[in-house]
């Protein structure tokens, strides 16, 4: 009997957009308190998997459980309070300052409790690593890296039980990327579950407890990093990924 405690379970999940089958069959079990990396080529279905998992897109078939609830359940909005989600192409409100951007989300997460929200803002400001002076400026003038740092801070400031980050380090300089990886590891150590998609498999090797390779709308394999290296007789995750996804391809 499987005694693992899962933050997320997806069974035979299928998603069709228009006439195109984007997810053929996603089976995924992500344990609580782990950092799980979803890896796969462009168009493999990583982002759609995340969106379906979080209820932003409706699955056409299959079962999904996220922190014990299914998207669309009556108490789903309460579950959303426990989740932090950073979409790949997420953006900030350019006419709001950095602080205001954090405050807006903090108020939405705390249901308008000002003191709690301000605490989250303080935490977010710390995570972002941006100076007070920068945070008091409108984000329209921020560099791409600064925006990304603030977005990550906004996603993690309420210490979510489940953080879902789509390419979190894209656009960050090396130092900031290292800081983010460290932050993700710290968060996992505190008990949060993290799901991260990335193209950077060396980064994945550094942060992941487990990795799932997605290819053409299917999970090809889910295993520990070391297991993956052994299974595919690879020196690193990049090699393992190439071997896992080898075979005839029909590009869309």
Partner 1 sequence: MSIRIIAWKEIIDLIRDRRTLAATVLLPLFGMPALALVAGALASVQLVHVYVAYSEVQSKSIAEKIASQTIIKLRSQGLKAQVIVGPPLKNLTNIDVYLLLPKGFYENLTSIGRPVNVYLRVLVGSVSASTARNVIKGVLNDLSWGLAYKRVEKLAQRANITLNPWNVLVPVRVIEGFYRPGGAPAPSTQAEVATTARFIELGLFFVVNPAIVYITDAILGEKERKTIESLLMTPTSTWKLLAGKLVASSLIGFVAAMADTAGLLVYFMLLARTGLKITLGLIALHATTSAILVFMTASTVIPFVARSQSVRAGQSIAVIFTSLAAVIYFAALLVDLSKLPLMVKVVLYSIPFTHAALAIHYYILGMKLRTLLHELIMLAFTAASLFAGAKTFSSEKLILYER
Interface residue with partner 1, options 93, 182, 202, 242 (CB under 8 A): 93
Pick the piece of the chain touching partner 1 (CB under 8 A) from 30-38, 83-91, 188-196, 212-220: 83-91
Pick the closer one to partner 1 by CB: 3 or 20. 20
Interface residue with partner 1, options 29, 40, 85, 225 (CB under 8 A): 85
C-alpha to C-alpha distances, 117 to 11, 106, 121, nearest whole angstrom: 36, 5, 6
**Whole-number minimum distance, CB 54 to partner 1, in Å?**
6
**Residue 149 within binding range of partner 1, rule CB under 8 A:** no
Q: Where are the alpha helices (DSSP H) in 17-130?
A: 46-53, 76-80, 98-110, 114-128
Q: Output helix, strand, coil percentages for the chain, rounded to the nearest 5.
A: 40, 25, 35
* Structure-token pair, residue 100: 């205001």
Distance, CA of 58 to chain centre: 18
**Residue 61 within binding range of partner 1, rule CB under 8 A:** no
**Residue 155 within binding range of partner 1, rule CB under 8 A:** yes
For residue 56, which of 99, 98, 86 has the smallest C-alpha distance?
A: 86
String marking each residue 13-52 x if it binds partner 1 according to CB under 8 A:
----xx-x------------------------------x-
Strand 210-215 relative to strand 35-39: parallel, antiparallel, unpaired? parallel
For residue 31, which of 217, 169, 205, 188 has the smallest C-alpha distance?
A: 188
Pick the piece of the chain touching partner 1 (CB under 8 A) from 90-98, 128-136, 169-177, 236-244: 90-98
Dihedral sign for Cα 126, 154, 106, 73, please.
Answer: negative
**Residue 81 within binding range of partner 1, rule CB under 8 A:** yes
**Residue 59 within binding range of partner 1, rule CB under 8 A:** no
**Whole-number minimum distance, CB 65 to partner 1, in Å?**
17
* Structure-token pair, residue 23: 């997810």
By CB under 8 A, name the binding residues for partner 1. 17-18, 20, 51, 54-58, 77-78, 80-81, 83, 85-87, 89-96, 100, 104-105, 107-109, 111-112, 138, 151, 154-155
């Amino acid at each position: 009997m499987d005694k693992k405690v899962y933050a997320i379970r997806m069974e035979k999940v299928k998603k069709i957009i228009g006439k195109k089958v984007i997810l053929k069959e996603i089976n995924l079990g992500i344990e609580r308190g782990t950092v799980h990396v979803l890896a796969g080529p462009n168009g493999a279905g990583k982002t759609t998997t995340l969106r379906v998992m979080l209820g932003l897109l409706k699955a056409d078939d299959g079962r999904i459980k996220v922190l014990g609830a299914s998207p669309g359940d009556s108490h789903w909005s309460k579950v959303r309070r426990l989740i932090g989600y950073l979409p790949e192409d997420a953006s900030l409100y350019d006419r709001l300052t950095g602080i205001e951007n954090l405050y807006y989300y903090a108020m939405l997460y705390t249901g308008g409790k000002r003191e709690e929200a301000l605490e989250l803002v303080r935490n977010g400001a710390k995570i972002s690593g941006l100076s007070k002076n920068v945070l008091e400026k409108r984000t329209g003038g921020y560099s791409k890296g600064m925006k990304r740092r603030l977005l990550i801070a906004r996603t993690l400031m309420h210490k979510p039980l489940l953080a879902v980050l789509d390419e979190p380090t894209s656009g960050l300089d090396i130092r900031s990327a290292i800081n983010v990886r460290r932050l993700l590891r710290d968060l996992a150590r505190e008990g949060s579950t993290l799901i991260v998609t990335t193209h950077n498999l060396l980064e994945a090797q550094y942060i992941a407890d487990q990795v799932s390779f997605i290819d053409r709308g299917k999970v090809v394999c889910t295993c520990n990093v070391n297991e993956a290296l052994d299974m595919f007789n690879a020196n690193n995750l990049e090699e393992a990924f190439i071997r896992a996804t080898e075979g005839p391809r029909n590009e869309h």
